[in-house]
Structure 1
Amino acid sequence: MEEVESEKGGDGVRAVDRALEILQAFGAGDRELTVAELLTRVDLRRPTLYRLLYTLEKGGFLSSNGDPQRFRLGPAIGQLAWAWTSSFDLSDVARPLLSSLWEDTGETVALFIPHGSRRICISELPSPQPLSFKRGIGYSERIVRGASGRALLAWMAPTEVQITRYCEGLEVDISTLMAQLEQARDLGYAVSHDELIKGAVAIAAPFFDHTGNVAGSIGIFGPGVRLDQAHIEQIAAKLRTSASALSSLLGYKAE
């Protein structure tokens, strides 16, 4: 009774929070959910849930059918998704996280996305230190080379045929590459030493989109004289946290 009176008394923010909780209960693989299934995912009483479901359905955010009644996301969600996608800029979304890593590490931080057999840098914050390494926005490299490339490839689940094609024209030992990809999956990040630039160390972690597919990687680059193994592990922990946060911003829900 107190719950109902609170909402009738104008506690609109609380009602909005609860409505959003219902919408967020739908995962990537949930085509439809029953009231019983929703009750296991949201902390609401059944009467309150029904009232909010009716309001969301009236606004087009949900639709329902069948007996027992099953709910699915409605057309209004699609309209919002289209508006968000059309104005979406990954660099803008990631910038606060990249800036935080840059401030914490003092090293160059960059954002990469896959493009066929290559990776492309779409954002970079160069290290302010005299001895540093940077590539620049627009820099492109084969996806099998470097930590930021392998951080993508390791989670793309390529077949052996695809791996062979990605390596065409390069002096890459495929068995070594496969071992590097397996190690990256075990650690949650990839590392390279002296691979593309002599004296450089790179650490990179993947981030994922709402479908669960790898969407890109965040890389940190610095000289080996500063990045010993202990320092690499410290940076990797921060990198994985930031990559996970970016995945969440893109709608990814870890299992």
Structure 2
Amino acid sequence: MDTQESQPKLYGSVLIKAKEIMDYLLMQPKSPTLAELSRGLNSSKSTTLKILKTMEHLGFVRREEETKRYVLGTQLIPYATKAISSFDIANVAQPYLEKLRDETGETINLGIPVNQRIVLVSKLESSNSIRLQSTIGGSMNMYSSAMGKAVLATYSADQLKRFLDTTDLRPVTQNTITNQNELRHDLKLIQEVGVAVDNEENEPEAFCLGAVLKKDTQLYGAFSISTPKYRMTPERRAGFIRMLLNTQHEIQEAI
């Protein structure tokens, strides 16, 4: 396939350069000077300054007078607020979750955290899957589900403490983790691997692997692969983990 034909023709090179400037400002731990911006973007000072002056006029960047450093402008805040409020993670994730369902032949779930529980917003069942108890709009415990534990693993120490102080770890099955220290240990393993495991902890005979959907500092939700326990061989588990992490990467890139 001709690479040029497969790529859309873009107009407005200045817009692209402005986006590169905003991306650079977003990623830097310290606000850069004009020289640092020019060097970091491999662009001449004169070109970079012209674009910065236009962006400053629009309120997209701001130059600190004392330090001569550039920061993102407050004019971007209402755009970000509107984008977040109108964002639907289910629509963005749908094609990737359908692909994951077809690859695994198992049920794929998508959930969001609401009031210290996970609310199921999408469920894609395969013809090979058994029917699980979860229903769209229903909720499940954070501490007993793969999606919930994946979310808990992103919490700060203070957030996790507040969750544990206000949540009674009641058993859902005989495998549910009900000890705070054991749960903390499980969450550390999830942080290391990037995948949460629900081994018959939320529903008997059901095995789930879950991962979060997070970009920058924004948590959008989590998704999981659910399968009957008897079908989860070590080989399938290793393959499912790879597919889960690949799907996570694809969705986060699309956000």
TM-score (norm 2): 0.81
The equivalent position to 1:175 in structure 2, one of 158, 166, 181, is 181
Structure 1 residues 229, 52: closer, same or farther in 2, change over 3 A? same
Query: C-alpha separation between the residues in 2 aligned to 1:209 and 1:177?
Result: 25
The equivalent position to 1:228 in structure 2, one of 212, 230, 233, is 233
Alignment partner of 2:91: what SS? Answer: helix
% identical aligned pairs: 24
Instruction: Give the Å deviation of 1:145.
Output: 0.6
1:129 paired with 2:128, answer yes
Aligned residues: 239
Alignment partner of 1:127: what SS? Answer: coil
Cα RMSD, aligned residues only = 2.6
* 1:144/1:166 contact within 8 Å kept: no
Letter of the 1:80 partner, please give it: Y
* Partner of residue 184, structure 1: 190
Letter of the 1:94 partner, please give it: A
* Partner of residue 140, structure 1: 139
* Partner of residue 60, structure 2: 61
Instruction: Give the Å deviation of 1:249.
Output: 4.5
**Structure 1 spans left out of the alignment, 5+ residues:** 1-10, 251-255
**Structure 2 spans left out of the alignment, 5+ residues:** 1-9
Letter of the 1:236 partner, please give it: I
Query: C-alpha separation between the residues in 1 aligned to 2:50 and 2:58?
Result: 13
Alignment partner of 2:26: what SS? Answer: coil
> Which has the larger displacement, 166-175 or 229-238?
166-175
Instruction: Give the Å deviation of 1:225.
Output: 3.0
Instruction: Give the Å deviation of 1:186.
Output: 1.5
Q: Which residues in structure 2 correspond to 1:92-241 (within 5 Å)?
A: 92-133=91-132, 135-157=134-156, 158-160=159-161, 162-170=163-171, 172-210=178-216, 212=217, 214-241=219-246
Query: C-alpha separation between the residues in 1 aligned to 2:39 and 2:117?
Result: 43
Instruction: Give the Å deviation of 1:168.
Output: 4.3
Structure 1 residues 28, 121: closer, same or farther in 2, change over 3 A? farther
Instruction: Give the Å deviation of 1:221.
Output: 0.5
> Which has the larger displacement, 228-237 or 76-85?
76-85
> Which has the larger displacement, 164-173 or 191-200?
164-173
- Residue deviations 1:17-52 (CA, integer Å, cap 9, x gap): 222111111226757432133234323222221122
- Residue deviations 1:212-237 (CA, integer Å, cap 9, x gap): 25442111111223321221222212
Alignment partner of 1:144: what SS? Answer: coil
Alignment partner of 1:216: what SS? Answer: strand
